[in-house]
């Protein structure tokens, strides 16, 4: 790969990445989101974040692992229960991370 | 609170995800140098593109000698989910000056959206200070990502096997901490379940397409469930009115 190709790749990747992120912000003062779109958008955080972490949690090695020896599943389950129960973000993170690392390293010591 | 304090709030909310991102930055830098790419190439990509998963996908494609248009269009697809974030944030940025919106657009990542969006939801960010918290989050991720890329390039595998430690679980736990407060209505549960099941079923699709499609399915299911609830409660009200 020569210098010219490297520069083209970076310019191209920058253009599409920034384009996707900025396109709506560029016209933010002019676009009026229809009410039904706004109603749908409130589901974006739950939908996208869930779609990111579910495969990481249930398929940590690219295949389904619902066993108790899967620290991702145990940590995520603990975090989820604490999150529903206490609604406290820092506590949710701490308990989840603790359970994850105990499951991952504690049992093997 | 002054600007610095708002920026610090955004940075503090990002800490778990910054820790989770460190092994990825190191891995990106070391992977790029192990593929024999110029150190400047990896450093420039992190500085200008600033998109974690797309950068890894690009490295893989470069290793396969894929043509440039394939690399660029794949990057586009991998990052398409950011359009959903941007659409959701339009209402919070529409009053801001253009240079601020340019910076915020450049820094719109999964992590900064996840760190700052809930602040608007609970009212700890508003149109006067939300963008400051956002900048604090963006800058802390940007610094982490670029410093770890440089370190990864310089050192190869800085600490062997660091990417197997599981530090990225901090990101999973943070996302769960963000999701759970929403789960007070049936529509959000349905959104969660449909996005989660779809992401497993579609996990074989290339280039994050499974993630993108699952996110859209989750949004659609939540929206439909929400609307049908409203319709039912409306028809119940009208029936009550009739019975009166």
Contact B117 A45 (CB under 8 A): yes
The pLDDT value recorded for residue B159 is 66
Q: Domain of B8?
A: 3-182
The pLDDT value recorded for residue A108 is 57
The pLDDT value recorded for residue A62 is 86
CA distance B19 to chain A (A): 12
- Complex ipTM above 0.85? yes
**Measured between alpha carbons, how far is residue B134 from residues B4, B57, B129, B163 in Å?**
12, 26, 9, 27
The pLDDT value recorded for residue B228 is 82
B35 CB near a chain A CB, below 8 Å?
Answer: no
Q: How many CB atoms lie within 10 A of CB A69?
A: 10
Q: Which residue has the tokens 């192990």?
A: B34
The pLDDT value recorded for residue B46 is 97
Residue where a domain stops, chosen among B135, B163, B182:
B182
Residues of chain A with pLDDT under 70: 107-109
Tell me the pLDDT of chain A averaged across its residues.
91
Contact A21 B176 (CB under 8 A): no
Q: Is the pLDDT of residue B21 over 80?
A: yes
B1 or A95: which leads in pLDDT: A95
Residue where a domain stops, chosen among B150, B182, B214:
B182
CA dihedral B93, B94, B98, B104 (to 10 degrees): 20
Q: Give the residue among A10, A20, A81 at the shortest CA–CA distance from B72.
A: A10
Long-range contacts of B3-8 (CB under 8 A, 24+ apart): B3/B132, B6/B129, B6/B132, B6/B133, B6/B136, B7/B132, B7/B133, B7/B135, B7/B136, B7/B139, B8/B136
CB-CB contact of B174 with B114 (8 Å): yes
Mean pLDDT computed over B6-31: 90
Q: Is the pLDDT of residue B158 over 60?
A: no
Q: Are residues B135 and B174 in the same domain?
A: yes
- Give residue-wise pLDDT tens across range B88-145: 999 999 999 999 999 999 999 999 999 999 999 889 999 999 999 999 999 999 999 9
Q: Are residues B158 and B238 in the same domain?
A: no
The pLDDT value recorded for residue B241 is 42
Residue where a domain stops, chosen among B152, B167, B182:
B182
Chain A residues whose beta carbon lies within 8 Å of the beta carbon of residue B227: 39
| Residue among A6, A22, A104 whose CB faces B105 most closely | A22
Identify the closest residue of chain A to B40 by CA–CA distance: A6
- The packing angle between helices B82-93 and B98-106, to 10°, is 150
Reported residue count of chain B is: 244
Tell me the pLDDT of chain B averaged across its residues.
88
* Count of domains forming chain B: 2
Q: Are residues B126 and B187 in the same domain?
A: no
Q: Which of residues 202-221 of B touch A (CB under 8 A)?
A: 203, 210-211, 214-220
Residue B20 half-sphere exposure, CB side, CA atoms within 13 Å? 17
- Give residue-wise pLDDT tens across range B162-215: 667 777 788 889 889 989 989 999 999 999 999 999 999 999 988 778 988 999
Q: Are residues B65 and B138 in the same domain?
A: yes
The pLDDT value recorded for residue B163 is 66
Tell me the pLDDT band of B240, cut-offs 50, 70 and 90.
very low
Q: Are residues B74 and B30 in the same domain?
A: yes
């Amino acid at each position: 790969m020569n210098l010219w190709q490297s520069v083209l790749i970076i310019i191209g990747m920058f253009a599409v990445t920034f384009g996707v992120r900025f396109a709506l912000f560029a016209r933010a003062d002019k676009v009026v989101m229809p009410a039904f779109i706004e109603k749908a958008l409130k589901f974006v955080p739950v939908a996208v974040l869930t779609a990111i972490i579910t495969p990481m949690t249930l398929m940590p090695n690219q295949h389904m692992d619902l066993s108790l020896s899967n620290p991702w599943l145990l940590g995520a389950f603990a975090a989820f229960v604490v999150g529903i129960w206490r609604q406290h973000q820092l506590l949710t993170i701490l308990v989840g991370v603790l359970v994850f690392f105990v499951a991952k390293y504690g049992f093997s010591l | 609170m002054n600007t610095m304090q708002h920026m610090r709030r955004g940075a503090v909310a990002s800490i778990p995800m910054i820790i989770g991102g460190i092994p990825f930055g190191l891995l990106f830098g070391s992977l790029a140098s192990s593929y024999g790419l110029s150190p400047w190439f990896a450093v420039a990509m992190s500085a200008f593109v600033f998109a974690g998963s797309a950068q890894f996908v690009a490295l893989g494609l470069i290793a396969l000698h894929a043509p440039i248009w394939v690399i660029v269009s794949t990057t586009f697809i991998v990052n398409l989910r950011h359009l959903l974030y941007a659409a959701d944030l339009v209402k919070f940025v529409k009053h801001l000056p253009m240079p601020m919106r340019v910076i915020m657009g450049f820094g719109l990542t999964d992590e900064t959206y996840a760190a700052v969006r809930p602040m608007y939801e609970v009212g700890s960010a508003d149109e006067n200070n939300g963008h400051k918290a956002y900048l604090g989050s963006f800058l802390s991720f940007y610094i982490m990502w670029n410093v770890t890329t440089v370190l990864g390039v310089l050192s190869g595998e800085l600490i062997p096997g660091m990417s197997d430690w599981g530090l990225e679980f901090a990101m999973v736990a943070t996302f769960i901490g963000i999701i759970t407060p929403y789960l007070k209505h049936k529509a959000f549960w349905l959104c969660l379940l449909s996005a989660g099941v779809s992401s497993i079923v579609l996990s074989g699709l290339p280039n994050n397409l499974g993630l993108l499609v699952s996110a859209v399915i989750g949004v659609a299911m939540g929206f439909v469930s929400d609307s049908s609830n409203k319709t039912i409660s409306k028809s119940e009200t009208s029936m009550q009115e009739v019975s009166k």
